[in-house]
Amino acid sequence: MQSYEVREIKLGQAHGAPRVWLEGQRLAKAGFAIGAKYELHVGGASVILKIAADGERVVSSHKKADAEYPVIDVNSARALGVFDGLEKLRVIVRQGEIHLLPLASQKKASERLERIAGKIRNGESLKVGSLCHGGGTTSYAVHTGMADAGVKTELVFANDFEPDVLFHASEVNPAWSPDTIPVAAPMQEVVTDGWLLGKLGHVDVLEAGIPCTAASLAGRSKKGLSMAEEDPNAGHLVVAFLALVEALQPAVIVVENVPPYQQTASAHLIRHTLRDWGYNVAEAVLDAQDFGSIEARKRLAIVATTAGLSFDFESVLKDPCEHHLAEVLESIPPDAECWSEMGYLRDKEIRDQAAGKGFRMQIVGPEATKIGTIGADYQKNRSTEPKVRHPVKGDALLRLLTATEHARIKGVPDRMIAGLPSTRAHHLLGNGVSVQVFRALASAIARTLIQAFRAEVATIAA
């Protein structure tokens, strides 16, 4: 190969036909000198120009200043019709040959679309990959949400850097099957392992909760960082994520994160890179309380669909039904050891008030229809996260929500935290998603796929 270029196809004004204009001495070096004859071959999704003594086409010339340069001007709907709808091409120049091909990114996008379309039309299971799996709440939400809409899924692999997390998920998460591959390694190691990527193959749906420890202003301030990407442990993981997108070639991508992630450089890299790779990117901040949860938990959702599919967040069906904390509470005896006066937190509240700080204890009872966000460090018993009041002594005695109650609030089946210590269970749940939200989102994505591809079948049959 002598050169590789990406060229724009310009539409001819006279006849409205697509046009490829090549010019320069590099053509002469490849044998396409001024006056040389060549022939044009159209095959599949490519066009090949070959030097031929009896060719029907001739390399013309273009004079600039005192020099003449060889020119190849292909302005023909018949010749370039195979590139209908494309704006750019690959131009590969070899000795005696010039190959015109779709961009590699366009070819891959077309293949992604064809794969998922075939599966939806035939009712086959979609292959799902999970990155930063954690407790697997997003995987569970995607699995159940798509099933709600009539689309089957199979979790091909789940990746997390903690082996114990994956082992536990494999035992309790309904999204897992005996064939699901646990990949216990950092993302940045996975993407460098060609053997492993070959075993995983392509997936149809990829979901990820990229770590966000420094996405918020508070997180950056605590760590003394000027930007989220400065975090040495998690700031660079967007690079590995995008590299895995390229390797796995999913038709649909779902990324969840905290709302401030929208303003990070990482989010911009995701949006613009996926756009250049042939994806349509949509995003929204979704509030769990709009989906029947009592927890005030907002989460950023980014959905990327391969060009040819169009996803609209307006299609996500909300469920603003009112629920009460009583619906998820376990039966805790009034004399259980978990009840406490929490005097140190009450003293802190008094100090905060005196200092003009807005921190207040959040005390709730069975009648509550809204509670604050329950975070990953809930077991540390911080002052602003929900505390349950005593059924007899009221605010005088308080307790933390149990891990089971926390799971139920987030729509996570009890079995998914079975056997875990409370601190570990709260951590996984607090880092995960509200299943009610992402189940509804996955269902909307599935309906989009059905409308796009099964509707085609119905139209053809009619």
pLDDT tens digits for range 347-385: 998 898 888 887 889 999 999 999 999 999 999 999 899
Over residues 201-209, the mean pLDDT reads 98
The pLDDT of residue 399 is: 98
The pLDDT of residue 85 is: 79
The pLDDT of residue 459 is: 44
Write the CB contacts of 82 (distance below 8 Å, at least 6 apart in sequence).
Answer: 42, 44, 45, 46, 47
pLDDT tens digits for range 116-152: 999 999 999 999 999 999 999 999 999 999 999 999 9
Over residues 263-272, the mean pLDDT reads 97
The pLDDT of residue 456 is: 53
Predicted TM-score of the model (pTM): 0.91
Strands 46-51 and 60-64: unpaired
Which residues pair with residue 42 across a beta bridge? 47
Nearest-angstrom CA–CA distance, 107 and 426: 44
- Residue 462: band (very low, low, confident or very high) from pLDDT cuts 50, 70, 90: very low
Residue 175 has pLDDT above 80, yes or no: yes
The pLDDT of residue 457 is: 46
pLDDT tens digits for range 15-58: 678 889 999 999 999 999 999 999 999 988 899 999 999 999 99
pLDDT tens digits for range 71-124: 999 998 889 988 887 888 999 999 999 999 999 999 999 999 999 999 999 999
The pLDDT of residue 8 is: 66
CA 128, distance to chain mean position in Å, is: 11
Over residues 218-231, the mean pLDDT reads 81
Give, in degrees to the nearest 5, the angle at Cα 267 between 265 and 270. 110
- Residue 234: band (very low, low, confident or very high) from pLDDT cuts 50, 70, 90: confident
pLDDT tens digits for range 309-362: 999 999 999 998 999 999 999 999 999 999 999 999 999 988 988 888 878 899
The pLDDT of residue 3 is: 76
The pLDDT of residue 218 is: 66
Provide the angle, in degrees to the nearest 10, between the axes of the packed helices 237-248 and 265-276. 20
Show the domains of the chain with their CATH numbers. 3-102 (no CATH), 108-321+433-461 (3.40.50.150), 325-429 (3.90.120.10)
Residue 334 burial (10 A CB sphere; 0-12, 13-18, 19+): exposed
Residue 461 has pLDDT above 50, yes or no: no
pLDDT tens digits for range 422-439: 999 999 999 999 999 999
Alpha-carbon distances of 363 from 17, 219, 231, 273, 389, rounded to whole Å: 70, 26, 34, 45, 6
Contact present, 428 and 420 (Cβ < 8 Å): yes
